[in-house]
Amino acid sequence: MVELELQDGLAVVTIDRPHARNALDLPTMGELEKVLDSAEGAVALAVTGAGDRAFVSGGDLKELARLRTETEASAMALRMRALCDRISAFPGPVLAALNGHALGGGAEVAVAADIRVAAEDIRLGFNQTSLAIVPAWGGAERLARLVGPGRALLLAGTGRVLNASEAERMGLVDLVLPRTGFDEGWREMARSLATRQAREIKNLTTRTRSPQEAAAAFARFWVAEEHWRAAEKVMSRGR
């Protein structure tokens, strides 16, 4: 099951398959597709898993074992790649809340987000080689952009699984939070990103823009009433 919460511009997507450690099968991919459709128009997006054991534990091997031909396997890979691409291309900030382990395809879903916040006891790894397969959902390319081609090859080629601190040092995780209060912590951060300003900053940081475009974006916010109200508060504190 894939759940969706919408509140104050924030869309929270939760993969909830406890019996399979939040692994993805074909019906769940279909649910995720519909949920992403419903999340369109939100200012920010957060993706997480239910419980505290797994964020997403990759593909559901028991279910996906039915795919026996190259055509079937390719179609599944392309379908899930398209969903990860949609998460990555979401126009506002995307936060992955790693409530539990993110392994194999789960790590690929995690790196589709702009920001990864992890509980201190999680593990993250591109360990597809343990199944004698390779990443297929866009994770290898995104991993290389995050940590560099050499380190990406080292991690995915060996299937090394990192703890949260190691993942943070390598730049795969942006923030590690204590398990106690983790849910409140990442939700507060996600809410703080659900602003028009953060959405515009994502545009500034993820695609090349001319100085004129950047200045025009700044000017739109400068003349808005929201800016002047905030500026007045700041200036009044200094009086």
Q: What does the pLDDT read at residue 222?
A: 66
- 190 close to 95: Cβ distance less than 8 angstroms: yes
Tokens 């809410």 correspond to what residue? Answer: 191
Which residues neighbour 227 within 8 Å (Cβ) at sequence distance 6 or greater? 221
Can you give the residue range of the structural domain that contains 232? 208-237
Residues 166 and 72 in one domain: yes
Tell me, yes or no, whether 201 lies in a domain. Answer: no
How close are the terminal C-alpha atoms of the chain, in Å? 54
Q: Is the model's pLDDT at 215 over the cut of 80?
A: no
In a domain, 230, yes or no: yes
CB 87 within 8 A of CB 45: yes
- What mean pLDDT do residues 72-97 have? 95
Asked if the structure places residue 81 within a domain, the reply is yes
45 lies in the same domain as 84: yes
* Together in a domain, 14 and 116: yes
> How many whole angstroms separate alpha carbon 66 and alpha carbon 123?
28
Q: What pLDDT sits at residue 234?
A: 65
Cα angle value 134/139/140 (rounded, 5°): 60
Residues comprising the chain, all counted: 239
117's tokens: 């916040």
61 and 14 in a single domain? The answer is: yes
> Does residue 149 belong to any structural domain of this protein?
yes
One domain, residues 221 and 148:
no
Same domain for 125 and 20: yes
Tens-digit pLDDT profile for residues 136-190: 999 999 999 999 999 999 999 999 999 999 999 999 999 999 999 999 999 999 9
